[in-house]
Structure 1
Amino acid sequence: MRSLILFTVLFFVVQSNVQAEDGHKLWLRNQFSGEVNVVCAGKSEIIDLAKKELKNNWNGIDGATIQLLVKKNNEVKGDGFILEENKIQANTELGLLYGVFELLRQQQCGQKVNEKTYNPSYELRLLNHWDNLNGSVERGYAGASIFWKKGGSDLTVSDYDKKLWHEYARANASVGINGTVINNVNASPNVLKAETLQRVKAIADVLRPFGIKVFVSINFSSPALVGGLKTSDPLNTEVINWWQAKAKEIYSLIPDFGGFLVKASSEGQPGPHDYGRSHVDGANMLADALKPHGGIVMWRAFVYSAKEDDRAEQAYAEFFPFDGQFRDNVIIQVKNGPIDFMPREPFSPLFGAMKNTPLMPELQITQEYLGHSIHLVFLATMWEEFFKSDTHQEGPGSTVAKCTDGTIFKQKTAIAGVANIGTDANWCGHDFAQANWYAFGRLAWNNQLSSEQIADEWIKLTFNPDVNGKVNFSENWTENFMKPVKKMMLDSREAAVNYMMPLGLHHIMQAHHHYGPGPWWEIEGVRKDWTMPYYHQADSFGVGFNRTKTGSNALAQYHPTVAENFGDLRTCPEEYLLWFHHVSWNHKMNSGKTLWDEMCYRYDYGVQQVRGFQVSWDKVQNFVDAGRFTAVQRKLRKQAQNAQVWKDACLLYFQQFSKQIIPFDIERPIHNLDDIRKNDMDRP
């Protein structure tokens, strides 16, 4: 009894020393404020911010002197910098700010200063917000828009707006993000109205000191919808003049405006195809309007139509023939995979194939197909896998990273992440979803970083055990908090693949909210590529989409070396097996199991992994403030429940085709298939 009382007292003493938090400070929780002297000859808003960050967050030797120096150095690219223990040198003032954040990050992670040159992998590193002018967020799971008010009619700017935008800008600058698209790619033409542009200007004014340029998504039919013209044909003289005048109007308000993001002739959005014109016609017309002002056009390659036999082929089919025909201020924005942000996809065949046109990867930070803001899924491992994928377009080692960051093709470079940010107190809906915002920024700056390093940094910055003193990562904290939490993060994406769509299965989620399982979903009259059986092709023989020569032949879009590897059942990586092949239920896998048994074990293992995450998190309770601990714990419980539903739904559904038993040494399904189909596992 006495030992129990002692444990209880010690537990509450530890808990009382962990400050209550709501996650709003993100990875910027440091409040050490040691003494530091900052020497810098220049004076500007950016330099003032750099000095402020050093003075407010210093964790180096008390009384040390740091020199900030803007001086041309050919080793430094763009807004890169040279970091030394007592000096930060850059070609630009923004480079100094990035250098300050890097120095503070290393200090706060308990590292010795890594003295070297730090150059960004991509010139433009931006977030795409799918925020609507009425304040809602498409595929947003963390509250309302931080940019637009509910209803959309109130365009006034409050002090609260400015404060929130300032915090947002600081968080982005801390990880090197330097651009943001503040409205949905399914764009309202009203964003280009004069009164709306005044609010865009206000946002730009707050973000500017942190080096963040503002972009807007545009509706291609804006000349007709808000300009009063009879057409929006990109080759029409009046339309051309309208866009040129609109660009001039925008730049008179926002001199450093970044440019336009365009979703056109895709998913019902208007575009040049409406007038018998090409993507080149549409993109180049807009590029010409922006060119005198230094703006760029980011033209999305996410296109598909119902007539295609294989949706995975269409982006390549529509854009590859135009390689080299776009203006030099046009960048084609390409999703990481050829379908749509699936839990696992092979890289898009466009990467490396378009050698004369800049391509920018588009990654999805918001977890549209990965459990929204309920499931803990650390996406850095997915992105690391993507960057390391070898296109072979310029020989072995032609990774996606090298094909997009200027290493192989000397072109403009950029990368985009679809944001997961909203008005929730913790910004992202899930405290661990903050790690994906952080990871995107870090990989956009350096696409060679490992997932492990990023997780290590984020955990230390976000859950630092003592925010009132010096950094002190004790052995106890490292062994009993850091290691299990990092393992949970690094395993989480593969776990999600296992309990959702293992072995190359894809696009078998519920059709509308994209949250729960729905491999059965199809409705008569709905285009086939919006149904789930279209993608898994399950029948009495087997399962999987045949993209080899005997199927859609989508593999022909890849370099022959890649196509040969993926196209041969003996060499195709099993994680992509059902993406490229229709495989017999009795096909022998590397494990020695049949495909059916392997699928059963993968689904079951995913469930067990999430249950393991629950155990890991429960064990670290005394290292985390009560608010964040409880919030994450509740989400993990829901994730474990959802994983069970995914397993049961998919195995019971596919069992109808395989006609085989579920192996007896894994847990039995606990739901009935008809109940799951009826309830549809609606997201709470």
Structure 2
Amino acid sequence: MTIMQKLRRPSLIAAALAALAGQAAAEDGYDLWLRYAPEGVAEGVSAPKGLAFACEAPGMLLETAADELSRGMGDLFGEDLMRLDAPAPGALLLASENCSDRFAGELPAEAAVGTEGYVLRAAEGGGALIAARGDAGVLYGAFSLLRRIASGEEMAGLDVTERPGTQLRVLNHWDNLDRTVERGYAGFSLWDWHKLPDYKDPRYTDYARANASIGINGTVLTNVNADATVLTAPYIEKVAALAEVFRPYGLKVYLTARFSAPVEIGGLKTADPLDPEVRAFWSEKADEIYGALPDFGGFLVKANSEGQPGPQDYGRSHAEGANMLAEAVAPHGGVVMWRAFVYAAEEPEDRVKQAYTEFTPLDGQFADNVLVQVKNGPLDFQPREPFHPLFGAMPETPLMLELQITKEYLGFATHLAYLGPLWKEVLAADTYAKGEGSPVRVVVDGSLHDYPLTGMAGVSNIGTDRNWSGSIFDQANWYAFGRLAWNPGASAEAIAKEWLALTFSAGEEFQRTALDMMMGSREAVTDYMTPLGLTHLMATGHHYGPGPWVDDLGRADWTPYYYHRATEEAVGFDRTGSGSDAASQYADPLEERFSDVGTTPEELLLWFHRLPWDHEMESGRTLWEELVVHYDRGVAEVEEMQQQWASLVGKIDEERYEQTADFLAIQRDEAQWWRDASLAYWQSVNGLDLPAGAEPPEHSLEYYQALSFPNAPGH
């Protein structure tokens, strides 16, 4: 990389200007976890004595790997990493199946690393080998080596073999062509469509680099509430320009396909997936796209959900709709990711049952290059839900797990909520699809049902804010998604610790305190928003703040009241056999466990059961008293995070410290708001006094109901 190329990076420009001014560069979060801070290096670890390829003509991805190693080692050790003409003692050696002419050793077996995995091995004189079958594996291995050094690992005896646990590790951007972002809390869309294809913002390169560093290999550029305009020739040219930037980092581009595009941009009178002219339209459109970018990944589709067009408009099934698109991209090696987030235009008996009801009869009917993309829970990215019952229930259809990185229901950008524990809760949940020991993780990685395609998708929280994610700690969720998509069995705590070391500091006191904050943060949010299995209590539309009282929208399942059904006598949604029977969608023994109030986990109690306010809990308290305890605990947990963060003043840079402190203050105030507004509403319904010692809400229920936020972000 030339000096001018390096100086195009905004972070390096800032560093250069600060250095000229004789002061340290501000830490504004732009560099994410790729700071390569020398203070994190373990004692005794020294710089490699150069870098060599195992062939004379390395490919594009290997060159990217070498550039990253040169940049990283230079930052970590303050020494330039020389390119060597041949392997030498103490140097780094990069080798792949396409680049091994000079390599005397053996490449890793494909069974061990697949097409994207790698080996890292200590070599003579303090050097290291980064070897893979495919060039992408060498790139991921390079980032892995730098991550290990930067986070303080010892390099003596290095011997690592890794392969990704899923094939498609994809970000879903809910970005609109006007640069607004649905459920986006970090500014506008990165994609400046008006200036593309002629101007490629240097930030696009930094975006691709950040994704490659955590193993993400695909990006869906556009909103699932799709606009067919992106499939027209001018926009295909713009998409191709982005793909050109992303390609050196192994990042494939995908697009959302609006099902009605044949009508809207194709001049047809129908979008019926069995109509020959419609099939021809999509085949020709796929040829056009692949002609502009041959490595196009394929389509993501939201159909017959929330008013989006789809095959059911023509009396066809999801499988028939997906297979039409799959037929169009199959000759080019493309895939179709068909979302299972559906609910009918007619109000259902229980919205959380619909995806299972619609999709399980179609098991085995989808084309080989189709994945059904399923949210972690059956409702909608809530602070806590049971795992989605589709996992384990479709053995003949690859299921791709969809997670929401952006915190639509967990406090937007300002609430500290590390989502690693939430996602691990889902991945570890036992589906009992083949008896005990069948967790969601082995459904998603394909090993339970021998899926030919596997993947995980993360709904992006990335925007034009300098820190990319709206807050520094929201970066951890982007990072955790990538690391869990690579290894669904990884520890959420280990990932958080790694992220803290790379992003802030590997100092023991900082690590201990900040890690404790992160690991308890999601539970705090659940306590002050949706305790004991209550769900979807957020205000309507923008989902900012509490709105459990809302019950007057166009259809009941858009309202919070639908999900709690509180009356003077009881609260909760009966999903047992005496109610909607959603519990029966889970395999035995889960159906029995969730149907029995005595065996249902308390954190899901009101999800599955409608209970009287005086129901006795495990603690001996009544349900009402227990709810108050949880609300109070949620506020107290945020106050504890404030105190913990205050103890770290001076341990990191001032700018990121102050922003986090300010955001924690917002979170504390809003946790109190959630607690007070919720309790005021529940009391208006049940007529019960607060338990002794509990503080009354600061304001009346009418005060909280009158609050309005017409310009809340992300809506």
- Pairwise TM-score range, normalised by the shorter structure: over 0.9
CA distance in 1, matches of 2:515, 2:446: 32
Contact 1:128 1:417 in 2 (8 A): yes
Give a deviation string over 1:317-336, Cα, whole Å, max 9, x none.
00000000000000000000
Letter aligned with residue 171 of structure 2: L
Q: What is the CA–CA distance in structure 2 between the aligned matches of 1:419 and 1:361, rounded to whole Å?
A: 14
Query: Structure 1 residue 681: deviation in Å?
Result: 6.2
Distance in 1 between the 2:356 and 2:533 partners? 20
Question: Are the structure 2 counterparts of residues 665 and 19 from structure 1 closer, same or farther at C-alpha, using a change threshold of 3 Å?
Answer: farther
Q: Is residue 131–residue 148 contact of structure 1 (8 Å, CA) maintained in 2?
A: no
Q: Is the 8 A contact 1:604 1:667 kept in 2?
A: no
* C-alpha separation in 2, matches of 1:386 and 1:596: 28
Q: Displacement, 1:76?
A: 1.4
Q: Which digits, 9 at most, give the CA deviation of each residue in 1:471-510, with x for residues without a partner?
A: xx4xxx312x211111101100000000000100001110
Does the aligned pair in 1 maintain the 2:48–2:92 contact within 8 Å?
A: no
Mapped partners of 2:482, 2:23: distance in 1:
31
CA contact 1:18–1:625 (8 Å) conserved in 2? no
Match of 2:620 among 589, 592, 612: 592
1:235-250 to 2 correspondences below 5 Å: 235-250=274-289
Shift of residue 676, structure 1, vs aligned partner: 1.0
C-alpha distance in structure 2 between counterparts of 1:430 and 1:134, whole Å:
23
Distance 1:165 1:457 in 2: 25
Q: Which residue does 1:38 correspond to in 2?
A: 51
* 1:506 lines up with 2:535 in the alignment: yes
Tell me how far apart the structure 2 counterparts of residues 78 and 674 of structure 1 sit (CA, whole Å): 60
Residue pair 2:119, 2:162 contacting (<8 A) in 1 also: yes
Runs of 4+ in 1 over 6 A off after TM superposition: 60-63
Whether 2:227 is the aligned partner of 1:188: answer: yes
Distance 2:662 2:78 in 1: 41
1:30-57 per-residue CA deviation (whole Å, 9 max, x = no partner) reads: 1549454112124122111111222221
Give the corresponding residue for 2:666: 638
Select which of 33, 36, 49 maps to 1:27.
Answer: 33
Where 1:623 maps in the other structure, the secondary structure is coil
* AA in 2 matched with 1:460: A
What are the within-5 Å matches in structure 2 for residues 485-524 of structure 1? 485-523=514-552
Residue 104 (str. 1) matches residue 104 (str. 2)? no
Counterpart residue number, 1:671: 699
Q: Which amino acid aligns with 1:329?
A: N
Q: What residue in structure 2 maps to residue 76 of structure 1?
A: 113
- Distance in 2 (alpha carbons) for counterparts of 1:253 and 1:478: 51
How far apart in 1 are the matches of 2:49 and 2:279? 55
Cα deviation, 1:314-356, whole Å, max 9, x if unaligned, reads: 0000000000000000000000000000000000000010000
1:326 pairs with 2:352: no
Q: Which residue of 2 aligns with 1:647?
A: 675
Q: What percentage of aligned pairs have identical amino acids?
A: 49
Deviation by residue 1:47-106 (Cα, 9 ceiling, x = unmatched): 111112222212589893122221351311230111212112211011001011111111
Aligned letter for 2:176?
N
Q: What is the CA distance between 1:613 and its match in structure 2? A: 1.0
| 1:121 has 2:165 as partner | yes
Higher alpha-carbon deviation: 557-566 or 356-365: 557-566
Which of 461, 470, 476 is 1:435 aligned to?
A: 476
- Determine if contact 1:370/1:515 at 8 Å carries over to the other structure: no
Distance between the aligned counterparts of 1:375 and 1:532, measured in 2?
21
Contact 2:398 2:446 in 1 (8 A): no
Helix, strand or coil for the counterpart of 1:621? coil
Instruction: Say what the alpha-carbon RMSD is for the aligned residues.
Output: 1.7
Alignment of 1:526-541 (within 5 A): 526-541=554-569
Q: Distance between the aligned counterparts of 1:35 and 1:325, measured in 2?
A: 53
2:657 and 2:37 mapped to 1: Cα distance? 21
Distance 1:46 1:291, change over 3 A: same
**Structure 1 counterpart of 2:420:** 380
Distance 1:586 1:90 in 2: 61
Match of 1:279 among 315, 318, 340: 318
1:48 aligns with 2:51: no
TM-score normalised per structure 2: 0.89
AA in 1 matched with 2:188 = A
1:238: Cα distance to partner? 0.6
Q: Secondary structure at the match of 1:75?
A: helix
One-letter code aligned to 1:458: W
Structure 2, unaligned runs of 5 or more: 1-21, 39-45, 82-89, 97-106, 123-127
- The one-letter code matched in structure 2 to 1:20 is A
1:512 counterpart SS class: coil
C-alpha separation between the residues in 1 aligned to 2:481 and 2:195?
A: 32
Aligned-pair CA distance for 1:156: 4.0
Paired with 1:449 and 1:645, the residues of 2 have a C-alpha distance of 35
Question: What's the secondary structure of 2:359's corresponding residue?
Answer: helix
Moved more, 177-186 or 73-82: 73-82
The 8 Å contact of residues 108 and 118 in structure 2, kept in 1 or not, is answered as no
Partner of 1:657: 685
Matches of 2:190 and 2:634 in 1, distance apart? 35
What secondary structure, in the 3-state scheme, does the structure 1 residue paired with 2:186 have? coil
**1:451 corresponds to 2:496:** no
Match of 2:631 in 1: 603
What count of residue pairs does the alignment treat as equivalent? Answer: 651
SS of the equivalent of 1:416 reads strand
SS of structure 2 residue aligned to 1:622 = coil
Alignment of 1:478 with 2:508, yes or no, is yes
Q: Which secondary structure state, in structure 2, belongs to the residue aligned with residue 560 of structure 1?
A: coil
Matched ranges for 1:105-504 at <5 A: 105-113=147-155, 115-149=159-193, 154-159=195-200, 161=201, 163-305=202-344, 306-411=346-451, 412-464=453-505, 473=506, 477-479=507-509, 481-504=510-533
